Chain A
């Protein structure tokens, strides 16, 4: 049972826009910024979004993040086949003194 809640799966066709949600509580998302990680099949996770809406320079601007209250979202526009991966939200939890992750969302590009 993950502290943060994500839908287990999402899908879209090439070119579409998809969003992935992440729900938490006041001790994590409600008071901290959210990070998103992309894990391509058979590889280690990579930081995709940090501080809720910032992208590392290597990440295309098709990826964007937002946060409101105790929820956050990852949006992917202009969906491409190489976006097929698992996506995890994460943040620091003050009550646990550590990171907490969502259970992950498997994105399928149809």
Chain B
């Protein structure tokens, strides 16, 4: 069964750091397009970042310079290193992937909650 499992969320103080992970399993084809999307509880979806073709990365303006997306193909795992965290980064972070296009995601993880608060 194809599955994405996020981990690494939790409570962190403003200015702190956190690294999220997304482990992919059960996929029979190579996953080229991997994203992070976040959602403030009760609010809408916000795209955060994408990595594809191994090294191409893009970020939302709201996280540029603070967050870094990366992947370890040997572990089938996607990461999001989050530094200089702010209260407005509080959200559920979803891993979302697609095997064909950078413009959509046909598989989503269950999400991991990040809370930035003192």
Contacts and interface: CB of A to CB of B under 8 A. Distances in A.
Interface residues of B, number: 24
A99 to B, nearest CB: 4
Contact of B103 (A37, A39, A91): A91
Interface centre among B50, B59, B105 (most CB of A within 10 A): B105
A50 B106 contact: yes
A contact patch SS: strand
Nearest to A86: B44
Interface centre among A33, A99, A101 (most CB of B within 10 A): A99
Interface centre among A43, A45, A104 (most CB of B within 10 A): A45
Interface of B: 35, 37, 44-47, 49-50, 58-61, 94, 96, 101-106, 108-111
Interface of A: 2, 32-33, 35, 37, 39, 43-47, 50, 56, 88, 90-92, 96-104
